[in-house]
Structure 1
Amino acid sequence: MAGNTYASNGNFKYGHLSELEKDIERLELGIKTSQNLDLFKMRINIGNHIIPNSIASLPMEGGDSTEEGSPTELTYRKYEKIARGGAGLIWIEAVSVTKEGRSNDKQLWITEENWMEFKKLNDLIKLSAKEEFGENHNPITIIQLNHSGRYCKVNGNKNPIIATHKELLDNKLGISDDYPVVTDDYLRGLEGDFLKAARLAKKAEFDGVDIKACHGYLLSELLSAYEREGEYGGKFENRIKLFINVIDKIKEDNDCQGLLLASRLNIYDGLPYPQGWGVSKENGIAMDLEEPKKLISILVEKDVKLISLTMGNPYFIPHINKPYDIGDYVPDENVIISCNRLISGIGDIQNTFPSINFVGVGYSWFRHLAPYVGAGSLENGLCKIIGFGRESISYPNFARDILDNGEMKKNRVCVSCSKCSEMKSKISTCGCVVRDNEVYLPIYKEMKNKEIK
């Protein structure tokens, strides 16, 4: 990680935009700012799909499904609030494509038996948005399809399904050297599982599907399976094979016609080679985007026109993908450096592929100044859509306030405390303890009390 070049301890200290801009200039960062917030009102055309503005609510796994994987009242409540908040692109959290591929027993999982519950969720989002903003406001809904890989849990117990051994991650999870890696036959079968889930997503009338390949989950892990043997490891073409085969199967399937193909994709893992993707082979964990760009060029050929880029592994180095500054975990770099890595790295990719709609991340930490940083990215071509993840659960009306009032309210914004991530890690259920305290503070307190006992 970069050294502590920031003058303070990294905690957010900016009251005014000018103060932030001075530090950006002093540290020679690639972060841009702009006060032209009308940029967020730009509509995005992707084929037959129109995103009504340039703001995305990004996936935050809530861990609040039924045992069978269906949405619950907490799930419906969360997405209704997000829909009424005004984001033009609503990216549904990770939905498992198999039972054993769930990250926990409360992760969403779409099946033949419950796809109507997912249609109910999608209908709620669409209707709620129209009630708030009129019949012409139709947010695009993307459902994220995933297999959790080494982070699978069954009956509350770890049940890792690993594509390859990675010493740093294995040690973190207590995985022994002789723990079996998943077979090629199993991976081959997953191609069909992703396709079945995509068909169900189409029946549930979501606008698109995201083939998730980020944050250390199975498809993401395969991208860096340099040391794996067989047809899904080793050379580049093998490591991307499952990902690309899934894309091809969905694209060519008659039942999936009309679905917008998307992906939430890591471009940098922050793990040394050969354990990490998007890293230098000679220079520690320095970023090297050659292979991510090579993969994205293939996705472009496959007509994937909407990609949410991200970095890191939240189970190992959480601040890379979710910069924050409050809590027991202390990053070894200052937070603005983490934000700069995300914003600048994604900007590099957007400049390389100007026709593709990339969703940028790394904005929530800027609190009430986030709109100006987001507008700066739009104005300077660092991405085409500004995405907010944890902001969506702490402050679901953030998009409306940016679009209608030209601001994000100081007393509503996410404070980067990462309690939502702590809950997700420890008990699976996740929400905003600070801003939605009537629901989630009691859950958080119960979790902490059990820890003390």
Structure 2
Amino acid sequence: MASNQYMSNGSFKYKNLSELQKDIENLGLDIKISQNLDLFKEKINIGNHIIPNAIASLPMEGGDSTEHGSPTELTYRKYEKIARGGAGLIWLEAVSVSKDGRSNDKQLWLTEDNWLEFKKLNDLIKTSAKEEFGEDYNPITILQLNHSGRYCKVKGKSNPIIATHKKDLDNRLGIDEDYPIVSDDYLKGLENDFLKSARLAKKAGFDGVDIKACHGYLLSELLSAYEREGEYGGSFENRIKLLINIIQKIEEDKECEGLILASRLNASDVLPYPQGWGMSKNGEDVIDLEEPKKLIEILKDKGVSLISLTMGNPYFIPHINKPYDIGTYTPDENVIISCNRLISEIGKIQKQFPEINIVGVGYSWFRHLAPYIGAGSLENGLCNIVGFGREGISYPNFARDILKDKEMKKNKVCISCSKCSEMKSKIGTCGCIVRDSKVYLPIYKEMKKGEEN
């Protein structure tokens, strides 16, 4: 890997675009730069819906629900801030479709008993945005529906529901080879769980639903269930069956009519075959987009018009999907390489499917220079919408500042410390302890205190 004067152990050292451009050239990266930030003002048409700009606030699971899955004041507070921040596409965090599918006891969970609380949340987003930007301003809201699979927890303890054994991932969680895999009947029953949740999302007023198939959760794990027997494993057609069946049921359901069909999808797991999806099957540890592209073609035919692409598994190799440079875990590659992988591979898919609105990721690490990288991606067709995850909790006004002031402010940006991820993995609840310290620093300190005792 080429050395350079601006990066030290991958840490962010760039003071200006010219320094960044030199590294991009020296390393031969696919990252593009543009200073035309007006590109973010482009409206995006999806069926009868219009996204008012090309900026997305992407999911960051907060773990702040009631025990029954309803939003709390922390949830409402977070999304009101994001709504007033100006992102045209607000992609809400993972909401479980079943009690046993929750990632922890504080994950949102949509039910017949609490859908009005979710309506209150959606109404708050819409009303807050209109108060800030005018009555004609309408951000598009996507509710992410998920089953956490091997990452389910009950009362703080791991309660894995696995679709297939994967040696490296099993070892990480202490799952032995005799641990039972979930039955075909259970998986088939999830079709109706997702459908019921989609119906409730529509009743609650959300513009669309995301059938989540990324980051090692259950539907994502099935995509790489090469060694599973039965109707949901082995062949490509079997491995995508549950995802496709769920989407088809929602698409054909009259109660879901008008919903945007979306998916947050792994372009690659970046785990060697047969443990990982989107990887070469020839023994080479390299990304192969053949199957992901086949799936996206099918999703397009089933009515999916919005896809948020990502990569990796945050529970195994965190820097693949969330490049960062501060913390106890040290990535084995310069962070700009991680960002380039995301931007480049997603760009290849967007270029092949220009008719699908693909949300790109991999921008937050660039701090105040991120708008120019995002604009470069838009200008060069590497994505139709630029997505930011961590910025939503650290810097909820980031979109407003890009659109109005044509900048992201240095003293507000996410610093990639990954403390939010640490909180998520250890206690479920997370937020930004740096930029929102009054609320989340005490929670973080209490977590640390608990570790010492």
Q: Secondary structure at the match of 1:266?
A: strand
How far the C-alpha of 1:284 sits from its partner, in A, is 3.5
Partners of 2:288 and 2:270 in 1: CA distance: 10
Q: Deviations over 1:38-87 (max 9, x none)?
A: 00000000110000000000000000000000000000000000000000
Distance 1:276 1:229 in 2: 17
Structure 2 counterpart of 1:218: 218
* Stretches of 4+ aligned residues off by more than 4 angstroms: 3-7
Give me the whole-angstrom Cα distance separating, in 1, the residues matched to 2:205 and 2:80.
17
AA aligned opposite 1:387? G
Identify the residue that residue 408 of structure 1 maps to in structure 2.
408
- Residue 236 of structure 2: aligned partner: 236
Matched, 1:24 2:24: yes
Partner of 1:103: 103
Q: Gapped runs of 5+ residues in structure 1?
A: none
The CA deviation string for residues 147-189 of structure 1, in whole angstroms up to 9 with x for no partner, is 0000000111110000000000000000010000000000000
Give a deviation string over 1:227-254, Cα, whole Å, max 9, x none.
0000000000000000000000000001
Paired residues of 1:5 and 1:334 also in contact (CA < 8 A): no
What residue in structure 2 maps to residue 342 of structure 1? 342
SS for the counterpart of 2:127 is helix
Q: Provide the residue aligned with 2:289 in structure 1.
A: 289
Quote the residue 1:67 is aligned against: 67
Partner of 1:203: 203
Answer yes or no: is 1:265 the counterpart of 2:268. Answer: no
The 3-state SS of whatever aligns with 1:359 is: strand
Q: Alpha-carbon deviation of 1:283?
A: 3.9
**Structure 1 residue 16 displacement after superposition:** 0.4
Q: What are the equivalent positions in structure 2 for 1:18-417 lying under 5 Å apart?
A: 18-417=18-417
Q: What is the Cα deviation at residue 4 of structure 1? A: 7.3
Matching residue's letter, 2:395:
Y
How many residue pairs get matched? 451
List gaps (5 residues or longer) in structure 2. none
| Separation in 2, partners of 1:261, 1:160 | 28
8 Å CA contact retained: 1:91, 1:143: yes
Contact 1:69 1:110 in 2 (8 A): yes
How has the CA–CA distance of structure 1 residues 138 and 55 changed in structure 2, closer, same or farther, with 3 Å as cutoff?
A: same
CA distance, structure 2, for counterparts of residue 341 and residue 155 of structure 1: 36
Question: What is the one-letter code of the residue matched to 2:23?
Answer: D
Report the residue type matching 2:413 in the other structure. V
Q: 1:253 to 1:5 in 2, by over 3 A?
A: farther
Distance (whole Å) between structure 1 residues aligned to residue 375 and residue 167 of structure 2:
40
Q: What's the offset of the Cα at 1:114?
A: 0.1
Q: CA RMSD in A?
A: 0.8
Contact 1:4–1:332 at 8 Å: present in 2 too?
no
Whole-Å Cα distance in 1 between the matches of residues 337 and 271 of structure 2? 17
SS in 2 for 1:68: coil
Q: Distance in 2 between matches of 1:283 and 1:140?
A: 42
Q: Distance in 2 between matches of 1:117 and 1:372?
A: 38
* Contact 2:2 2:26 (8 Å CA) reproduced: no
- Cα distance in 1 for partners of 2:149, 2:287 equals 24
Tell me how far 1:5 sits from its aligned partner: 5.4
CA distance in 2 between partners of 1:428 and 1:208 (Å): 25
Equivalent-residue separation in structure 1 for 2:283 and 2:374 (angstroms): 31
Q: Percent identity between the aligned chains?
A: 80
TM-score by length of 2: 0.99
Tell me the secondary structure at the aligned position of residue 250 of structure 1.
helix
Give the secondary-structure state (helix, strand or coil) at the position aligned to 1:144.
strand
Q: Normalised by the size of structure 1, how large is the TM-score?
A: 0.99
Preserved CA contact (<8 Å) 1:4 1:333: no
* Structure 1 partner of 2:448: 448
SS of structure 2 residue aligned to 1:142: strand
Whether the 8 Å CA contact 1:150–1:159 is kept in 2: the answer is yes
Partner Cα separation in structure 2 for residue 310 and residue 124 of structure 1: 28
- The 8 Å contact of residues 232 and 240 in structure 2, kept in 1 or not, is answered as yes
Cα offset for 1:371? Answer: 0.2
Provide the C-alpha distance between the structure 1 equivalents of 2:81 and 2:270, rounded to a whole number of angstroms: 34
| Conserved? CA contact 1:4–1:334, under 8 Å | no
Per-residue Cα deviation, 1:399-442 (whole angstroms, up to 9, x for no partner): 00000000000000000000000000000001000000000000
Counterpart AA for 1:416:
S
- State the SS of the aligned residue for 2:307: strand
Relative to structure 1, is the Cα distance of residues 426 and 254 closer, same or farther in structure 2, using a 3 angstrom cutoff? Answer: same
Distance across 2 between alignment mates of 1:362 and 1:283: 27
Secondary structure in structure 1 of the residue aligned to 2:141: strand
The amino acid across from 1:165 in the alignment is H
One-letter amino acid of the counterpart of residue 149, structure 1: G
Q: Distance in 1 between matches of 2:407 and 2:230?
A: 53
SS of residue paired to 1:263: strand
Shift of 1:285: 2.5
Deviation, 1:303, is: 1.5
Map Cα deviations across residues 20-41 of structure 1 (whole Å, 9 max, x no partner). 0110011110000000000000
